[in-house]
Amino acid sequence: MRNAMKYFIDFAALALLYARFFYRRWHREGLDVLLVNTLLYVYLSLVLYVTLMPVIVSLPFLFNHPYSPMNLIPFVDVLAGRGDFLRQVLLNVIMTMPFGFLFPLAGKRKAKFGRTVFFCFLMTLGIELLQPLISGTRSSDITDVITNMTGGILGYGLYLAFRPAAFGILERLKRLGQHLPPQ
């Protein structure tokens, strides 16, 4: 129960941030913008849950444990046959595929491949550098960066494959939103 409260605080802060700053702005831009940006926000919140949470209750203890430097040898666990490396690699690829798909949709056709990969890299690197700071039991690994980037690239490939259908749905939502009374 005590552990659940730590996560609740983080999710409450994320919900408050969404309600106070993002929802109204995105809703004013249309249902299509609201849907895509909300999906991206929820996705990023879940990534935070899996990789960094609890954050807020950890802040006072940031420097109360040793910082373990990033492992810079790619796929060392795979090569040494340690742990459940295959599962970790697959989960890291799968985890960032939604980013590669949703980020260009949120960019309204402006997010090209390079921009999507760059922001996927920034997100991944940020997570990997913060993990050992927030928790003394978490570590960072260059393999995670590589596999997360692979997932973002595969997600972008899915975006390209489904772009016509996705933008068709978003266009219908936009037209539907124009007929609804403003909030």
Domain boundaries, the chain: 2-178
Residue with the two structure tokens 């922001």: 119
| Section 137-152 average pLDDT | 92
182: DSSP letter: P
pLDDT of the residue at 180 = 62
pLDDT at position 10: 95
Scanning the structure block, which residue is given the tokens 């899915």?
A: 158
Is residue 44 predicted with pLDDT exceeding 80? yes
In whole angstroms, give the CA distance from residue 119 to residue 117: 6
**Candidate from 2-11, 107-116, 119-128 with smallest mean pLDDT:** 107-116
pLDDT digits (tens, 9 = 90+) for 84-114: 888 999 999 999 999 999 999 998 767 799 9
The answer to whether residue 181 scores a pLDDT higher than 70 is no
Confidence tier at 20 by pLDDT (50, 70, 90):
very high
Average pLDDT of the chain?
89
More confident residue, 56 or 40: 40
Of residues 35, 25, 21, 37, the one with CA closest to residue 174: 35
